[in-house]
Structure 1
Amino acid sequence: MKVLLVCAAGMSTSMLMKKMEEYAQANGIDLEINAQSFSDLKNPADAGYECILIGPQIAYQKDKVIKKAQGLPVDVIPMANYGRQNCPAIFEQLNGLLGK
């Protein structure tokens, strides 16, 4: 799966991205993941992403992300899962978005 994390500046989301990569590798999950700031978000479907997860700190931008998402599924990571870097719960969320 190819996932884009969208956040305000990329600091804490980069840490989550690394945790998710480690979790995916340890659990045999095929994952390509990138983090990008909201201001840099352009044509995510053209880049081959399957879905977009938004950091809770910019949940208020969800409607704007949806417009830029070109039909890709979009959801906000719950604050508790984001803060705890709860990879199992975040992968459940991803599977739900992707209908797996």
Structure 2
Amino acid sequence: MAERTIMLVCAAGMSTSLLVSKMQKAAEAEGIDADIFATAASDADAKLAEKNPDILMLGPQVRYMLSDFQKRVDIPVEVINMQDYGMMNGEKVLKEAEASIAKAN
């Protein structure tokens, strides 16, 4: 089982799949054992229950869901920086996730 589980949520689950692969490459380079996956907003609750992630990261296009998730889950919930998302900067998004997880623990 992975040391970290990072869940990314976007409108359809498609646009974040490239970001997931870039984050996985960054994690491997850093020696971080992480299960990083993306899901559509409509499937987020099922994936939360199934995967039990350490952090939930929202794509900028679903940032309006932030307060709803923050009220319902007891893990960090962050909105991915729009510039990092647009540039598909997996390394930077991974660092943000790691920082949020560390701050919560």
TM-score interval, smaller chain: 0.7 to 0.9
Distance 1:24 1:60 in 2: 28
Unaligned 5+ residue runs, structure 2? none
Residue aligning to 1:17:
20
Percent identity, aligned pairs only, is: 37
Residue aligning to 1:76:
79
2:25 maps to a residue whose letter is E
Q: Structure 1-normalised TM-score? A: 0.87
Could you tell me how far 1:11 is from its partner in structure 2?
Answer: 1.4
What is the aligned length?
Answer: 99
Deviating beyond 3 angstroms after TM superposition, the runs of 4 or more aligned structure 1 residues are none
Name the CA shift for 1:45/1:73 in 2 (closer, same or farther; >3 Å). Answer: farther
Q: Which has the higher helix share?
A: 2
- 2:13, 2:41 within 8 Å by CA — same for their partners in 1? no
RMSD after superposition:
1.7
